[in-house]
A and B are shown apart, each in its own frame.
Chain A
Amino acid sequence: MISCLGLTWGVPGQPLTPALNMNLAKGSLTAVIGANGCGKSSLLKVIAGLQKPLSGKVLLDVPRRGNVAFMPQQQFMDRQFPISLQELVAAGFWGKNQTAQQRSDKLNAVLTDWHLDGLEHRPLMALSGGELQRSLLARLCLADAPLLLLDEPHAALDELGQELLWQHIQTWQTEGRTLVVVCHDLTAVRKHIPQALLIKSSGTVLAPTMQLINPSQVA
């Protein structure tokens, strides 16, 4: 699904790691872990085609547009933006050809799915961090892409929200979607994600999560 060939990224002249070569299979679920500033989010953007790599390339099996759903960190979102939760979520319909009835059914379904019923008309300003995060995830559901790139999707979610998230991630994977998830919570990574990409300035390692994260690190 994703092939990185001699890939480096970062600011010009200062690549964050040595060149990265890796393949992520279709239907795989991969965590991206590493210290702050090691380039996890940037790698996600490079894969999504939103940032140019310094060298090398990323090849995808599918055309990027419409097939890659990228979920940015929510702190980049303007909370004063004058739209409602429903309008934010409905942006996931972009480029989809559906009747108004289909849209409204689907929209209601994902809102229920992410426990957002009754909040449809709330302005963004009046949402909690967790509610906003669940809205972004609901939008991701509507976008219905085979490749999902999630940047810290668990941030701001409470316990119930996190459970919801991991359930959905599992469902997405069983549906055959490919997922790459940036995640700080090593315990959760160890529990829910089979393989991880550890980014270090000395080199990048792709390995089963159980090998990369010792129980001692988690505790």
Chain B
Amino acid sequence: MVIASQLWQPFQEFVFMRRALLGGLVLACSTAPLGVFLILRRMSLIGDAVAHGILPGAALGFWFAGLSLPALTLGGLGAGLSMAGLSAWITRRTGLREDASLAAIYPISLASGILILGMAGKRLDLLHLLFGSALAVDSQTLTGMLWVTGFSMLLMAVIYRPLLLDTLDPLFLRSVSRLGPLAHGLFLTLVVLNLVIGFQAIGALMVVGLMMLPAIASRFWSRRLPVLILISAAIGCASVWLGLLLSFYYSLPSGPAIVLVAGCGYALSVIFGPVHGLLRRPPLLSSQ
């Protein structure tokens, strides 16, 4: 019973732990479908590019407005979207491979973010921006997270079918409906929005882990899309909860603790997952 109470007690006792938990849980639920669809669309790396892209925007927001939530959010949103858009535009216009174009965006964004923070002079902790601090989620940030994640889940439910068909068979969808590109655009916007709102809680780079690791892990547990999304959300929520506890009891940074728990979930899934996990026979042929 000692163990059971230890699992709850920090959240009962401390408001900042409750806020961190609630924020993390809603974030895990709203990033789950995004991560799953990013993988299905073969865009797993977009999240990384956007997360790096957020940095210079958030740094600019900080420079001009200080540590204000709307300024950081708007700056991050604008920069994240334009970095993702810029990379897609270069690919389309020049034929540069998509992964190369994204890889070019990472260092540029990261370096300019750090440079701007340096020029801003004041001490916004770079580590805070990169890796966040779930324990510093104040009630304003939490309210923002609840709105954004609620909106995001609702919009995902609305665009679910066109997005599904656009992912599986875009040519077919385009022959029967004009919703494909719209669904794609809204989806990308939601990805950026979630990364921006998440970076204030667990950091720009860590939120990508919370988005992608559970989604990739879920692939080893089911072959049905709705189930994949639910499993991914469950793994994400469990990671947030366990990660926060680890961070509380062992004084670890919360963002990395959450992401590493999700990483353990991924490793266990790769090994034990019933859908082509390492211990299952027959293994998936590499030709597929």
Interface residues of A (CB under 8 A from B): 45, 48-50, 64-66, 68-72, 76-84, 88, 91, 94-95, 123, 125, 139, 143
Contact = CB atoms under 8 A, between A and B. Distances in A.
B178 interface: yes
Closest 4 CB pairs of A and B: A123-B223, A70-B175, A94-B176, A82-B225
B177 A94 contact: yes
Contact of B225 (A48, A72, A83): A83
A63 B20 CA distance: 53
A91 B172 contact: yes
B288 interface: yes
A81 B288 contact: no
Contacts of A94: 165, 173, 176-177
Interface string B132-172: 00000000000000000000000000000000110111011
B224 interface: yes
Contacts of B219: 82
B228 interface: yes
Interface in B21-41: 40
A70 B171 contact: yes
Contact of A78 (B40, B178, B224, B228): B40
B223 A125 contact: yes
A65 B288 contact: no
28 contacts: A50-B171, A65-B176, A65-B177, A69-B175, A69-B176, A70-B171, A72-B171, A77-B169, A78-B168, A81-B40, A81-B168, A82-B219, A82-B223, A82-B224, A82-B225, A83-B164, A83-B168, A83-B225, A84-B224, A91-B169, A94-B165, A94-B176, A94-B177, A95-B176, A123-B223, A125-B223, A139-B172, A143-B176
Contacts of A77: 168-169
B174 interface: yes
B222 interface: yes
A82 B223 CA distance: 5
A45 B169 CA distance: 14
Among B167, B175, B223, B224, which residue has the most Cβ atoms of chain A within 10 A?
B175
Contacts of B174: 49-50
A55 B228 CA distance: 45
Contact of B288 (A49, A69, A79, A91): A79
Contact of B176 (A66, A72, A81, A88): A66
A81 B167 contact: yes
A14 B219 CA distance: 43
